[in-house]
């Protein structure tokens, strides 16, 4: 007899609370193996393939591609433990109620249960515990059982999408919060998602109708679902919403960037200073290194080495502020983030322990993380833990910028493009390779003198790389 187990979106770590379905890797009726990736999701930090801890036949999928689900929401159901006979698969079809709960999950046969640890699933227990749990679950099965809390995917009659009675079909707590904040009664909204699921777009459309009464009858109809409006009113509401411009949801990487930058601007009193520097000698030093043979050294790696040495002299900038304790926390290691533009948006991969790496090691790690960013293969660990950020916006062909600090860090060094410019060198006018350097810093951790000293030291090292020999 096949047993239907429900696989929920697991906790993907790093404080992530939701993920967007990018691509399903399996369909209903497909046979999946233990720990086989079944769906590709996009979190605020990375693209992740989610493995299913059960082996069996997929009987239902929850959510279409592009749907955002919170952690703990159902992803799919799998029929496990059967022989694969047609009659068993029919009984385990989407119309059947999936078995949920710890006892049911642990009672699955060990050969059909994941040995990997997913938050909320874990490894199967020892044989004695499995026997005990099976015995207990068998006893429970004989007792009168309450109605299951989970409704089958193909039971639309059980989902309250009309009549406004029973549970409101909303999975996402973000959708509930949006409706609550705007005073919208979700019982008056008809969902456009699978099985009448209320999506964020449904709530936003209902709110738009509430806020933009466009006809005499609009105030009474504004709270009604779009499908319940008369054709004339619905057409007017749609045209009014459209006239406000295209609405692009802030979610995934774009949403994470918006949240982080808004928090930085709100919490951090930042200031920026900048200086032009003659990078001719640094460019010549790099050319000499690469001409000597061996792996090529990138300019970003040399700038990173300069940053690490400057932070050793000015540790105030390798810190964070704990406002709850009213303390400045100076960090012992330099984990260097660098801004990278990808098709998914701006990301900041982090080179761990940059202070212990050579120029060759930094070059290799920058290349690895950049390639992973382009392939959307960065893990949450690759994108967290930074203590200082290096932003090479010169690759976009611009000279200067006042970047926003990557919260909760205390500073960011910006590097513009390196171009030939007139420059006074050794008392004479000459054409030199000039770069603009800018430092944006948290004024709570230091004053302008410290920030200026840091930036001046960086500029001196760019102009005279031999300065670094003193600390080698």
Q: What is the pLDDT of residues 81-124, one digit of tens each?
A: 765 555 555 555 555 455 444 444 444 444 445 544 454 444 44
**Annotated catalytic residue, options 135, 138, 164, 443:** 443
Contact 286, 302 (CB under 8 A): yes
Q: How far is CA 41 from CA 60, 65, 365, 369, 408, in A?
A: 17, 9, 25, 20, 26
443 in active site:
yes
Give the separation between CA 300 and CA 323, rounded to whole angstroms: 33
Q: Which is more confidently placed, 385 or 128?
A: 385
- The pLDDT, as a whole number, for residue 351 is 97
How many whole angstroms separate alpha carbon 32 and alpha carbon 51? 10
Section 230-243 average pLDDT: 55
DSSP three-state, residue 253: helix
Residue 226 CB partners (closer than 8 Å, separation 6+)? 190, 202, 205, 206, 209, 234, 237, 238
Q: What is the pLDDT of residue 44?
A: 67
pLDDT at residue 219, rounded to an integer: 43
Cα–Cα distance list, 68 to 249, 325, 394 (Å): 11, 35, 35
pLDDT band at 72 (very low <50, low <70, confident <90, very high): confident
Q: Which residues have a Cβ under 8 Å from the Cβ of 398 and sit 6 or more positions away? A: 416, 417
Q: Is the pLDDT of residue 251 over 70?
A: yes
How many other C-beta atoms lie within 10 A of the C-beta of residue 205?
A: 19
Length of the chain (residues): 472
Residue with token string 């456009």: 192
Residue 209 makes CB contacts below 8 A (sequence gap 6+) with 218, 221, 222, 223, 224, 226, 229, 237
Return d(Cα 33, Cα 52) in angstroms, integer: 8
pLDDT category at 47 given cuts 50, 70, 90 is confident
Find out whether 264 and 320 touch, Cβ atoms under 8 Å. no
104-109's contacts with Cβ under 8 Å and 24+ in sequence apart are 104/3, 104/5, 104/137, 105/5, 106/130, 106/133, 107/3, 107/133, 107/134, 107/137, 108/3, 108/5, 108/54, 108/80, 108/81, 109/80, 109/81
pLDDT at site 85: 53
- Identify the pLDDT of residue 13: 63
When pLDDT is averaged across residues 431-453 and rounded to a whole number, the result is 96
The encoded tokens of residue 191 equal: 């969902």
Q: What is the per-residue pLDDT across 333-364, written as a single tens digit (0 to 9) for each?
A: 999 999 888 877 788 999 999 999 999 999 99
- Higher confidence at residue 201 or residue 173? 201
Alpha helices in 19-151 (DSSP H): 86-91, 102-106, 127-142
Cα–Cα distance for residue pair 255/349, rounded to 1 Å: 17
pTM: 0.58
Query: From the centroid of its chain, how far is CA 51?
Result: 18
Residue 82, C-beta contacts closer than 8 angstroms, at least 6 positions apart? 1, 2, 3, 56, 57, 88, 89, 92
pLDDT of residue 330: 96
Identify which of 104, 70, 84, 73 has the alpha carbon closest to the alpha carbon of residue 32: 84
CA distances from 130 to 116, 127, 329 (A): 17, 5, 47
End-to-end Cα spacing for the chain: 70
Q: In the sheet where 18-24 sits, what is the strand order? A: 47-52, 36-42, 18-24, 68-70
């Amino acid at each position: 007899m096949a047993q239907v187990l429900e696989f929920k979106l697991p906790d993907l770590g790093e404080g992530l609370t939701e993920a967007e379905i990018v691509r399903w890797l399996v369909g209903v009726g497909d046979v999946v193996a233990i720990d086989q990736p079944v769906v590709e999701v996009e979190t605020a930090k990375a693209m992740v393939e989610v493995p299913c801890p059960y082996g069996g036949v997929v009987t239902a999928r929850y959510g279409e591609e592009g749907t955002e689900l919170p952690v703990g929401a159902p992803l799919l159901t799998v029929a496990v433990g059967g022989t694969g006979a047609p009659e068993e698969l029919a009984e385990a079809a989407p119309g059947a109620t999936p078995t949920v709960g710890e006892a049911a999950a642990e009672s699955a046969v060990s050969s059909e249960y994941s040995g990997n640890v997913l938050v909320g699933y874990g490894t199967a227990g020892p044989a004695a515990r499995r026997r005990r749990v099976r015995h207990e679950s068998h006893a429970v099965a004989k007792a009168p059982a309450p109605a299951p809390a989970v409704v089958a995917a193909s039971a639309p009659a059980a989902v309250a999408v009309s009549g406004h009675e029973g549970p409101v079909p909303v999975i996402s707590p973000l959708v509930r919060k949006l409706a609550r904040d705007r005073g919208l009664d979700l019982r008056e909204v008809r969902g456009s998602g699978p099985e009448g699921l209320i999506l964020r777009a449904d709530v936003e459309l209902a709110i738009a109708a509430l806020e933009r009464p466009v006809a005499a009858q609009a105030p009474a109809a504004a709270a009604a679902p779009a499908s319940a409006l008369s054709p004339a009113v619905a057409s007017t509401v749609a045209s009014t919403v459209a006239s406000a411009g295209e609405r692009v949801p802030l979610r995934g990487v774009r949403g994470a960037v918006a949240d982080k930058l808004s928090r930085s601007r709100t919490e951090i009193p930042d200031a920026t200073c900048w200086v032009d520097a003659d990078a001719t000698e640094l460019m010549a030093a790099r050319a000499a290194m690469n001409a000597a043979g061996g792996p090529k050294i990138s300019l970003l790696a040399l700038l990173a080495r300069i940053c690490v040495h400057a932070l050793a002299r000015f540790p105030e900038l390798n810190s964070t502020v704990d406002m709850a304790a009213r303390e400045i926390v100076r960090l012992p290691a330099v984990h260097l983030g660098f801004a990278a533009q990808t098709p998914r948006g701006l990301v900041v991969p982090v080179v761990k322990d940059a202070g212990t790496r050579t120029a060759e090691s930094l070059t290799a790690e920058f290349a690895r993380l950049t390639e992973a960013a382009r392939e959307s293969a960065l893990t949450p660990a690759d994108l967290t833990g930074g203590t200082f950020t290096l932003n090479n916006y010169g690759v976009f062909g611009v000279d200067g910028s006042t970047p926003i600090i990557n919260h909760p860090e205390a500073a960011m060094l910006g590097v513009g493009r390196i171009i030939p410019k007139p420059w006074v060198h050794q008392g004479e006018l000459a054409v030199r390779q000039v770069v603009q350097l800018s430092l944006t810093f948290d004024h709570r951790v230091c004053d302008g003198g410290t920030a200026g000293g840091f930036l001046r030291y960086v500029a001196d090292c760019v102009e005279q790389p031999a300065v670094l020999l003193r600390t080698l």
